[in-house]
């Protein structure tokens, strides 16, 4: 009888020690998992480190002269494109340009198919709430473009109500058309909006004044088009993923470009010097 009691006691003690050991192991495993998660979070928190590790800065754009467009050799050039390449070089990486659906730019950023939106982007409330944005660097307006032959008929906002507009999907021009109750059709980009007006499938387009300055009027492919009413005044900025430390890095880079005068020289190269935000 005594032997049975002693054996039962030994078995109970063995179970207690076994459970305690399991608890320590579970706690150690949990601590290790938490440590790994913290390390992963820390690594992912730095967009700058992510870009430098993969060696490329993927720049989301649409074709938008004089900001981002291809020259005769097929190279992406323009005020924004040249700045993006110089910024990438300052980070020790290569700039790669990716044409995107402008309406999906935030999804492209968050999905990491691109690292930055750098394409004459207006700093709207929707943009600044969804992206980590740089300081503004250019002043822009949304302007109405019509055939020059009828421009005298459309010199005020009241005169625009019966026009059929073409606007870039997801753009500031699209937002204005919707807010003003205009009849409009969304197209892939601003260049297509101009083509719609030139071909007569739209009465007018709403595009950025900087693009209008480069692409319509005498000496351009759209010599028969002109701009009339300016609907807004706005600022351009560059957008990164929300919380990205690349925005601060870009601001520091831009400060240096202002300080040495090279941003002014670049603006003059592409004819946007009058729109340059003065530091």
pLDDT tens for 103-114 read 999 999 999 999
Q: CA 249 to CA 87: how far, in whole Å?
A: 9
> How many whole angstroms separate alpha carbon 23 and alpha carbon 89?
52
pLDDT band at residue 279 under the 50/70/90 scheme: confident
Instruction: Give tens-digit pLDDT for 50-98.
Output: 999 999 999 999 999 999 999 999 999 999 999 999 999 999 999 999 9
Report the DSSP beta bridge partners of residue 64: 68
Residue predicted with more confidence, 168 or 11: 168
Got the DSSP string for 68-111? BEE-TTS-EESHHHHHHHHHHHHHTSEEEEEE--GGGHHHHHHT
- Report H helices in 169-279: 172-179, 190-199, 209-215, 246-259, 262-269
**pTM of the shown model:** 0.78
Q: Read off the pLDDT band of 42 (50, 70, 90).
A: very low
Cis geometry, peptide bond prior to residue 72 (ω within 30 degrees of 0): no
Q: How many CA atoms lie within 13 A of 133 on its CB side?
A: 20
Mean per-residue pLDDT, 210-227? 95
Q: Computed from CA positions of residues 198, 199, 201, 207, in that sequence, does the dihedral angle turn out positive or negative?
A: negative
Tens digits of residue pLDDT in 233-243: 999 999 999 99
Query: What mean pLDDT value characterizes the chain?
Result: 89
Residue 9: pLDDT band with limits 50, 70, 90: low
What percent of the chain has a predicted confidence (pLDDT) above 70? Answer: 84
Separation of alpha carbons 124 and 234, rounded Å: 8
CA distance 164 to 251: 40
């Amino acid at each position: 009888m005594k032997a049975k009691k002693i054996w039962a006691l030994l078995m109970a003690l063995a179970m207690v020690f076994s459970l305690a050991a399991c608890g320590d192991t579970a706690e150690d495993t949990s601590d290790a998992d938490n440590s790994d998660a913290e390390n992963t979070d820390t690594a992912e928190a730095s967009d700058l480190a992510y870009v430098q590790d993969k060696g490329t800065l993927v720049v989301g754009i649409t074709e938008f002269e004089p900001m981002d467009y291809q020259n005769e050799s097929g190279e992406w050039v323009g005020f924004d494109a040249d700045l993006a390449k110089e910024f990438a070089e300052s980070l020790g990486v290569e700039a790669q340009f990716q044409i995107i659906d402008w309406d999906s730019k935030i999804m492209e950023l968050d999905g990491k198919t691109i690292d930055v939106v750098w394409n004459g982007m207006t700093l709207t409330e929707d943009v600044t709430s969804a992206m980590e944005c740089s300081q503004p660097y250019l002043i822009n307006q949304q302007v109405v473009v019509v055939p020059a032959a009828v421009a005298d008929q459309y010199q005020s906002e009241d005169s625009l109500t019966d026009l059929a507009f073409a606007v870039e999907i997801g753009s500031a021009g699209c937002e204005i058309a919707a807010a003003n109750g205009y009849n409009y059709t969304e197209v892939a980009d601003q260049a297509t909006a101009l083509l719609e007006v030139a071909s007569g499938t739209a009465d007018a387009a709403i595009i950025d004044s900087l693009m209008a300055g480069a692409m319509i009027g005498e000496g351009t492919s759209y010599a028969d088009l002109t701009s009339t009413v300016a609907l807004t005044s706005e600022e351009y900025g560059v957008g990164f993923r929300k919380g990205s430390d690349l925005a601060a890095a870009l601001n520091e880079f831009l400060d240096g470009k202002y300080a040495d005068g090279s941003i002014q020289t670049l603006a003059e190269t592409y004819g946007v010097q009058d729109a340059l935000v003065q530091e």
